[in-house]
Amino acid sequence: MIVIDPSSHVPPFEQLRAGLLDAVSSGELAAGERLPTVRRLAEDLGVAPGTVARAYRELEAAGIIETRGRNGTFVSFHGDPAHQQAQRAAAAFAEQVRALRLDTDEALALVAAALRAGGTAPA
């Protein structure tokens, strides 16, 4: 959860940019995840929409997020091609797990078991 400290000497857009970057780096925000709209995030954080727009622009210029027109703004798939493909597979798996209403710990256990099995799927 990003919190903007109005008494900080760091400008609000920079606090937001750094907070989003930290969330992406830590995995709190996963590749392919949709971000709130500029207006929605501005309202949630109590800042001006221009503050959010500037942070989004800077993160997009750095390749951390991408805007897909009217579809919204998303965390970018980044890294080498193998890493990008793995991120896409993980995002698809996470979407399927949510659709199946599986518990996160159970889903992670399934992935760990599949990786330990060396790619052989259970019958």
Provide the pLDDT for residue 74. 94
Are 50 and 90 in a shared domain? no
20 lies in a domain? yes
- Closest to 99 (Cα-Cα) out of 88, 87, 107: 107
pLDDT in tens, 34-84: 999 999 999 999 999 999 999 999 999 988 999 998 999 999 987 666 777
| Domain count for the chain | 2
44 lies in a domain? yes
85 lies in a domain? yes
123 lies in a domain? no
Per-residue pLDDT band for 30 (boundaries 50, 70, 90) equals confident
Provide the pLDDT for residue 87. 79
2 lies in a domain? no
Q: Are 55 and 13 in contact (CB under 8 A)?
A: yes
pLDDT in tens, 89-114: 888 898 899 899 999 899 999 988 98
Domain membership of residue 36 as a residue range: 12-75
Are 62 and 111 in a shared domain? no
Which CATH number covers residue 23? 1.10.10.10
